[in-house]
A and B are shown apart, each in its own frame.
Chain A
């Protein structure tokens, strides 16, 4: 059973371009979470999704950021018109159905660099 797969591992974008980050959860997991980690800072929650539903997006910036978890295929975190401040490591985690009392499994992250 493969772990949480994120791709790409490294992504370089010029200011104003779009960044698409992909996350394939572990098999059987229906809950996906996205986090952002800036250097010397902790993991900041962005969005929590279940298949075809956004459960909590309270950590997402109001503009330029969006996320989806379609019925088929990976979860996508999309950042439009990237700026230098978007440079960070973006981690995806997944967990099985049900609430609480279960660990979250993290991917290795996508390191976005905006030049």
Chain B
């Protein structure tokens, strides 16, 4: 069965540092991979999408990489701020196969000032 693992449940870093979150998957070849942010009591909010033929995507302080050989995506937040504290979810986009977005459990990031 398809499996998605996000490297750690919690990550604590200091303000100004770069946070790096990992997403590994098995048994599938998604055309796209997406990252979402979820705050407590709220629905997930889309951050970035990366295609299988793209190595890297950037948006402001966010950067995502996608290695289809390693079946891994890395999500970076540079110059992190306390407001970046949230749970970050990786999602495999397999809708081309007639199904849906499949999510990892998420990594909860805490940025201390």
Query: Which A residues form the contact surface with B (CB < 8 A)?
Result: 4, 31, 33, 35, 41-45, 48, 55-56, 58, 91, 93, 95, 99-109
Contact = CB atoms under 8 A, between A and B. Distances in A.
21 contacts: A4-B43, A35-B103, A41-B105, A43-B103, A45-B100, A45-B101, A45-B102, A48-B100, A56-B98, A56-B99, A91-B43, A93-B43, A95-B95, A99-B95, A100-B93, A101-B32, A101-B49, A102-B49, A103-B34, A104-B34, A104-B46
Contacts of A104: 34, 46, 101
A31 B99 CA distance: 11
A66 to B, nearest CB: 17
Interface in B29-53: 31-32, 34, 36, 41-46, 49, 51
Nearest to A102: B49
A43 B41 CA distance: 13
For the side of the interface on B, what is the size category?
20 to 34
A31 B95 CA distance: 11
7 closest pairs, A vs B, by CB? A106-B43, A42-B105, A103-B46, A43-B103, A48-B100, A56-B99, A99-B95
Given A42-B105, A42-B106, A91-B43, A101 B51 contact: yes
A58 B99 contact: yes
A55 B59 CA distance: 32
B101 A33 contact: yes
B113 interface: no
A63 B41 CA distance: 28
